[in-house]
Structure 1
């Protein structure tokens, strides 16, 4: 029997992975940018099968995402602007003396301002299974991508990419290090003596270079002092934003973000990959090319035998800040009711009535049904199923109460692409919507009263593609021009 691919270990919009080992179990955190809940936490006993057990940003008021809008920045090698999403990016997860920490950046793109600012923070808890992450402790640092290092003498250090003015891809960039009070966020801004180092007296510094698209790569440097200077070796791999860690037998591994190119595009965007690392005594780590099925030596792997719980609804997502009382999800997750809001899906700031999940498969489909009662909800403008990347790229199929029509609509503002198909409909019981996808195409269909599917449009995946930080999410949404009752969706399924 053909072996199922190990990589990516977390598929579908799972960039910037970071790993901590806690009581023999592996925990992985990734970026989430503009989505809430944010910073998903995955766990594994064998480094192959990963389960989502929670989200580190998981409650109203913990941190604000209202300014996590997307902004076009520099032009890529393909001649298109790179779409930079705001929000939660590049977390680092670490465990030290019974407490688990995440250090992260909240990228803020304020309306009407060309620049951006960064909130750097640390959150923590003592029982990672409880999902009771603390409120953020903020610290002062003019940069992004912070890392957290605990020295043997109980001192705590932050490393990060800093710069003077403007975005890092056009400004002077440096790696800065400073000591921090992990409880208060106080930045000491002064050098102190360093300890014995991470490995054989050396401190190793793993960095991402080459922007965030095809040129993204990882390098490693080392120094005898935590303050440097660090001396670099060759590129470690042709993927970006890595994290090195050891299993319980001392074997070294690396997790990195990467993409699966299909026909010149990356339909799933950036995902999490793993590879074994050979690290000879006194030498540099060596990472083989990232493969679909790396030699994992899974049999007898020294992980934990802890039973990983199966929890409901952890993978449901909203766009930016949301009001939890606007959503009612059934116990099995297949029925969802939404209170419509006025903000359309392409609104860059306002609260959007949307609930969905990450696209996890190269080939699959998602579907939902609108019962008769929802088709007649007074005040509703649109109710349907959407394929969403950001406020620049949205494709949807929906019921228009105003015109009693089924509508397909594609909008890609990055490429000035629009497409609209509208069909008059008179359903007696329900309207079903379906989005089917492969690596090359996405199809949008509908069915009346449980009859056969009618194709509205077959979209080339290239029309939805574009350089950026985020991946596709698929879900149901509703909009209104005034106060409206809840809209019920039944039979919701996202693959």
Structure 2
């Protein structure tokens, strides 16, 4: 688990500064209340998304009688979560490909850089994950015999540029790398990309031979399609099927497919492309699911085909705070072509499940409305928690005060490009509430709950001591300007403890406190759209969790913007 791994990585780490006073949290709770998740799911059906909240760029493989799935993690650590399922519907996270700080350096990167679009495959007893560490090393492969880990250190593929690589194992034993890169020559327009392929020797992890373009631009080059990416190659009934995302990861996102009798092509596009999109639906529809694409196909034990893909749930037309999520739909084959969803049809929130689906209908805590609570009474931290970038020093502890989370605050703030002392879990609902109880921190430390989209867009509901008094405050950053205090109030704590609460409904966020005299709202209807991708940019979703900051007067240890 995470604490044990980090403890080993940090053993003997020197510290030149005296530690800041600790922040101690009793528990952390989260409850989702989305309208789209109300009601019961009929027997034999499942709820979409299957992984709610920031679970972008899914890739899936069937192996050893089970299914395994990975997602992009960008600059969050541990990185590249690995999920396991018996039925494609109920998923359990079993590990992470990047679980040791020594595997990758993400310092200095904005949140939406780092790990892009990992692809998982299985061959001859070994699991392979191939991906791109954007601005932090390029393309690499990691391997494991157990998908729960440990995974190898990155094996860098220095000769392959671009992003979104995947592996294809052909029947004749040859293995290929397929990925997105700039086209040959000068791009004709912004977003002009190509899909390339090259053979690779897995024994030496070395690409060799010619590297050739399989798709230049997209399925209709004359229309100047943008951002062809996320390619996967499959073989069925003697045909090679090349599937890729097209149109960018926003409202024009789609999935297209081409096929050939030869692995090197030429590939002919499906005359009925795209095989998945939501761009042709009315924007004002109720409970919209948008941005659908970046699919990966897998075959079940009954020979049925299924697709996992990303999409987003919007509010107020264009905003989504929950990021790009993982969805599941059946794949139908007609005249030798796959289709995920008919043109003009909305992605359903409830779907008839696979014939091999487990009988249990509950998919919590991955989707649906549920309540989740961490009492910090385990010796290791649960897999729901992540950090921003790689830790360089141990700053959380579950053993110092058993039954509590102790944070040793760092000076690096949420607006730095380092590793702030912030434990993050995904916001999985448009409407939710989250709360925590903590001891009033000693002077020099501020502690509370953060809602974080990236280093330029966040809220921090905190408490601190000011002289002989204590105060609760709400701090906000919403762009290039420095963070500001939105509101503050002097506390009258009954027993040196305080509860903090955050709640949201779409773009309206509320921030409150209870110092022993009942819940009081510090700010209501705060602008939560600054936590949306539409405003903040990037590729992740909002994250929430305990945060503590060293406020003693000394130079910051973080890499500031």
Match of 1:379 among 434, 441, 444: 444
SS at match of 2:197: strand
Larger mean CA deviation between 24-33 and 396-405 belongs to: 396-405
Contact residue 234 and residue 242 of structure 2 kept, 8 A? no
Instruction: Pick closer, same or farther for the CA change 1:39–1:286 going to 2, 3 Å.
Output: closer
Secondary structure of 2:152 counterpart: coil
Please tell me whether the aligned partners of residues 446 and 456 of structure 1 are also in contact (alpha carbons under 8 angstroms): no
Which residue does 1:33 correspond to in 2?
A: 74
Distance 2:242 2:234 in 1: 11
Question: Are positions 1:6 and 2:11 aligned together?
Answer: no
1:168, CA displacement in angstroms? 11
CA shift for structure 1 position 342:
1.3
Instruction: Note closer, same or farther for the CA distance 1:247–1:483 as it changes in structure 2 (3 Å cut).
Output: farther
**Cross-structure match for 2:197:** 177
For residues 60 and 367 of structure 1, do their structure 2 counterparts lie closer, same or farther at Cα, with a shift above 3 Å needed? same
Structure 2: runs of 5+ lacking an equivalent: 1-38, 213-232, 278-291, 361-377, 555-561
Describe how 1:5-154 pairs up with structure 2 within 5 A.
6-70=47-111, 85-108=112-135, 119-129=138-148, 131-139=149-157, 140-154=159-173
Query: Contact (CA 8 Å) 2:533, 2:539: kept in 1 or not?
Result: no
CA drift of 1:402 comes to 4.2
- The equivalent residue for 1:319 is 388
Asked if 1 retains the 8 angstrom alpha-carbon contact of 2:69 and 2:84, the reply is yes
2:255–2:275 CA contact under 8 A, matched in 1: yes
2:352 corresponds to: 295
> In the aligned structure 2, how far is the partner of 1:37 from the partner of 1:283?
38
1:463 aligned counterpart, secondary structure: helix
Quote the Cα distance in structure 2 between the aligned partners of 1:152 and 1:159: 16
Residues 332-369 of structure 1 deviation map (CA, whole Å, 9 limit, x = unaligned): 9973111211111111x222111121122333322122
Shift of 1:107: 1.1
Deviations 1:114-170 (A, max 9, x none): xxx7510111111123x2111111102110011111112222111000116999982
In structure 2, relative to structure 1, the CA distance for the partners of 1:141 and 1:460 (3 Å cut) is same
Q: In structure 1, how many angstroms separate the alpha carbons of the residues matched to 2:329 and 2:500?
A: 39
Q: How does 1:59-458 map to 2 (within 5 A)?
A: 59-70=100-111, 85-108=112-135, 119-129=138-148, 131-139=149-157, 140-163=159-182, 170=190, 172-190=192-210, 198-233=235-270, 234-238=273-277, 239-264=292-317, 265-280=319-334, 282-288=336-342, 289=345, 290-298=347-355, 313-323=382-392, 325-329=394-398, 335-347=404-416, 349-372=417-440, 375-376=441-442, 378-380=443-445, 382-402=446-466, 404-413=470-479, 420-427=486-493, 428-449=495-516, 451-458=518-525
Q: 1:300 to 1:398 in 2, by over 3 A?
A: closer
Contact 1:197 1:226 in 2 (8 A): no
Gaps of 5+ in 1: 71-84, 109-116, 304-309, 485-495
Quote the offset at 1:285 in angstroms: 3.6
Q: Extract structure 1 runs of 4+ deviating beyond 4 A.
A: 164-169, 298-303, 330-334, 414-419, 481-484
The structure-2 alpha-carbon separation of the partners of 1:434 and 1:191, relative to structure 1 and needing over 3 Å to count, comes to closer
- Provide the aligned length of Structure 1 versus Structure 2: 447
1:167–1:282 CA distance, 2 compared to 1 (3 A): closer
1:472 corresponds to 2:472: no
Cα deviation, residue 40, structure 1: 0.8
Instruction: Please say if residues 475 and 483 of structure 2, whose CA atoms lie closer than 8 Å, have aligned partners that are also in contact.
Output: no
Q: 1:351 to 1:297 in 2, by over 3 A?
A: closer
Gap change, CA 1:392 and 1:312, over 3 Å in 2: closer
CA RMSD in angstroms, aligned pairs only? 3.1
Q: Cα distance 1:286–1:365, how it changes in 2: closer, same or farther (>3 A)?
A: closer
Aligned-partner SS, 2:248: coil
> Per the alignment, in what secondary structure is the counterpart of residue 400 of structure 1?
strand
- Cα distance in 1 between the residues matched to 2:208 and 2:449: 50
| Cα distance change of structure 1 residues 48 and 177 upon mapping to structure 2, 3 Å threshold | same
Structure 2 residue matching 1:198: 3-state secondary structure: strand
Q: What is the CA deviation profile of residues 231-263 of structure 1, one whole-angstrom value per residue up to 9, with x for unaligned ones?
A: 112101111110011001110111110011223
